Amino acid sequence: MSKTKLFSKGKNNRVRLKIIVFTILVLMLLLTAIFANHLCPFDPYEQDLTIAYNSPSASHIMGTDAYGRDMFSRVLVGGKTSILSTLALVLVITIWGTIVGVICGYNGGVIDSCVMRISDLCLAFPGLVFALAVAALLGGGVGNAVIALAIISWPKYSRVARSQTLSTKETCYVQASIVAGARPGRIIVRHILPNIFGPILVTAMLDIGTMMMELAGLSFLGLGAQPPIAEWGSMMSNGRSMLQTYPWVVLSPGFAIFVSVVVFNLLGDAVRDCFDPKAA
């Protein structure tokens, strides 16, 4: 299904409304993440041991952590790290996976077999196990965690892109275009990409939440963001031992992850319903 159908009049109004509402929510989340530095009421990195472990109050609505840093500011700034790196990750694997998948599907042959065996291999490893190993290999850092997850996650996209390309290639208009002498590059850009856009978009949208959780999971294990950088997973991990006495230090970043994943999943589900009404 093509992009133009996304907002055609015949579409179910409820699905359209859902998409609009959830897009607004996602945009709000994104704007909060982008402008986190300007929105936070306190400096997220400024330590003040006199107010360490303050309970949530009017000035510090999520309390303060072990170094007296305002949790609300840290959660806001942590969101910038978590959300933006997740989006970068999903963008990279979507583009890379699509390019690889389209080339494999369109050309077939030796390249196709080789790439598909590599993706078999990537899929042969249980996802997070492999990511753990790669992240361990590369060492800490948000960038490295993103790379580790990218290395294991692209095959999913190339599979979708490949199978869609294979079926699109068989359609009459592509065959006609080949007969008319169009170059492969033109066919891919003009005919194939617009037609495989839907399923790939759906895969990517539904993946954002999962990726955010996995990225935060790596950080939680100390393989992602390194202190003092505010990031939700590592903030939860650092506060872990304080669960009994100062639960807000641990639970507020966790709640932030939950809310963002919910928002992205809502939009993902709505986009899926829009492209594939049968699944709804």
Contacting positions for other proteins (CB under 8 A): 117, 120-121, 124-137, 209, 213, 216-217, 220-223, 233, 236-237, 240, 243-244, 247, 250-251, 254-255, 257-258, 261-262, 265, 269
φ and ψ at 14, to 5 degrees?
A: -65, -40
CB of 113 to other proteins, least distance (A): 12
CA distance 47 to 141: 22
CB of 128 to other proteins, least distance (A): 3
Q: Is the dihedral of CA 19, 25, 31, 34 positive or negative?
A: negative
Q: Is 74 helix (H, G, I), strand (E, B) or coil?
A: helix
Comparison of 67 and 258: residue with beta carbon closer to other proteins: 258
Comparison of 42 and 264: residue with beta carbon closer to other proteins: 264
CB of 43 to other proteins, least distance (A): 26
In the chain, the N- to C-terminal Cα span, in Å, equals: 16
Alpha carbon 20 to chain centroid distance? 20
- Residue 187: which of 202, 174, 201 has the closest Cα? 174
DSSP 8-state assignment for residue 246? -
- Residue 152: which of 197, 199, 97 has the closest Cα? 97
Q: Is 64 helix (H, G, I), strand (E, B) or coil?
A: strand
Comparison of 31 and 121: residue with beta carbon closer to other proteins: 121
CB of 64 to other proteins, least distance (A): 19
Comparison of 101 and 233: residue with beta carbon closer to other proteins: 233
Comparison of 188 and 216: residue with beta carbon closer to other proteins: 216
Comparison of 139 and 184: residue with beta carbon closer to other proteins: 139
Place of tokens 């692209």: 154
Cα torsion at 162, 167, 169, 173 (round to 10°)?
A: -140
CB of 257 to other proteins, least distance (A): 6
CB of 234 to other proteins, least distance (A): 11
